[in-house]
Structure 1
Amino acid sequence: MSENPRETTPSSDDVGPAEPGGPEAGVVLTAGEAEAVVLPENGCRIGSLRIAGTELLRQGARYGSFPMVPWCGRTGYGRFRNGGVVHELPANAAPHAIHGTGRDTVWRQNPGTTDRAVSFCYDLTDPWPYPGRVTQVFELGESELRITMSVEATEDSFPAQAGWHPWFLRNLGRGGEDVTVDFRAAWQEERGADHLPTGNRIEPLRGPWDDCFGMPDGVDVALTWPGELRLRLTSPAEWVVVYDEQPEAVCVEPQSGPPNGLNTAPRLVTPIDPLEVTTVWRWERLG
């Protein structure tokens, strides 16, 4: 399946934390021609990924590549149930709650940083109703970036999701062609008028997309900037959201469950059974 680019109006995927008030410290990883900058004070997002000096991610405080945790995409009407208890979350993409709390949080750097690897964590707190800890590990190689995120329950069990929301530049700005996005999904989640999955699985449709796809053998998506670079994004996770309705960038979002999954496909995190998700981005230069 290949992308068919088309400019449309921005969606609530563009909702993000406020612009920071001043400069922030980034942690720089380097490996050969690759350089990644992680911004722990801005939601522990990747603020920059450069290959031989070429930036791959859309720049700006709301962009780069941010973690989605402890839920991914929209949680319907800001509510989810855990057993007999219904919890309310802030409707930051009214009427829904979107993309979790991790991207709005300052993360702590863990010991053991090297030129190629670093890890961070933060403690779950309000508005999330359950105590826990989230850890994110970044490992940069000369031709790949591996990211692992885990969610731990420190007291009561709770449903949770984890994933990433990278904003890949549509055009690398060197006079080349726009990116193409290729993948083979087993199904597409039918999207209702409220932007939530209806529960029906349909044959994958052509883009443009703001849609969730099922890949039961693991996420595997290729982004190709013809004549310049190819990046293959993989994950053992079985779900991916593709969002390409803005002219500046395309988003390929591996995640542990579908949008509204806290309600429709809950994955329970317990003190002895954490949630762990990994994604690997591998690239090769074409020019």
Structure 2
Amino acid sequence: MSEEGKVAETVSEVLGERVDVVSHALHWLVENQDLLVTYVLNIVFAIVTLVIGMMLARVISGTFHKILTKRQFDITIVDFVSHMVRYVIIAFVIIAALSRLGVETTSFVAIIGAAGLAVGLALQGSLSNFASGVLIIALRPFKAGEYIEAAGTAGVVESVQIFSTTLTSPDNKFVVVPNSAILSGNIINYSRKSTRRIDLVVGVSYNADLAQTKRILETIVKANEGVLKSPEPLVAVAELADSSVNLVVRPWVRGEDYWPVRFELMEAIKNGLDDAGIEIPFPQMDVHMDK
């Protein structure tokens, strides 16, 4: 056989194989057209479900954000709740889309639960911080902008996040405190009340005239414009200590005036007692030596 004949035979064989493949494919399509239509429709419905679900999640989350903001909730609560709502809706949408594709969602949820349990055991500390964050949001022992003391640190609350709370210390340090550490101890909120009491202890010599000393302290306290008239300031003898007679000075001030008034009173008391010749003693010890 000539070379032209061999080439023609080879071409005819290749074309025959391709025709057979196309024929089988067309035959399979004809036989399974209902199944293909069902699969295509399921995929389309799953995509539509996913797209619409994502849009609804964003809309509902935004609606929650607007409603909570309009009702003047703390911004940390607004952000926390709106994000949680969005993530929960997205999770349900994904499960619904997978169910539309024929995926056994029961097994899928079981797998997610088992994986969540394993991750939870590995991340107990993080989950504890998350739970504490939810409790802080729910109980609201403090909110953004308030000055608190918790977990061994103090500062102005910047934000309450899922796992931690951020503070700004009085010397402008950025402090991140785990939420579980905050809830495991005492929380002191200095901003929740509008007024605060300044507690000062002033020690004077045993030779000092206590009546005169009390009059001087009362005059100094009442002369300060930051001290409130009610409740009335208290000046009283509190202790007969080793080296001094200790008097307590307890005026009330507005919360924002606490530190300025405290510093002013400390300086004024020192100068006033010096001017009156009243000694502010320091700890001392007498040693007697026998030969």
TM-score (norm 2): 0.19
Q: Going by fraction, where is strand more abundant, 1 or 2? A: 1
Is the radius of gyration larger for structure 1 or structure 2? 2
Q: Larger relative contact order (C-alpha < 8 A, sep ≥ 6)? A: 1
Q: Going by fraction, where is helix more abundant, 1 or 2? A: 2
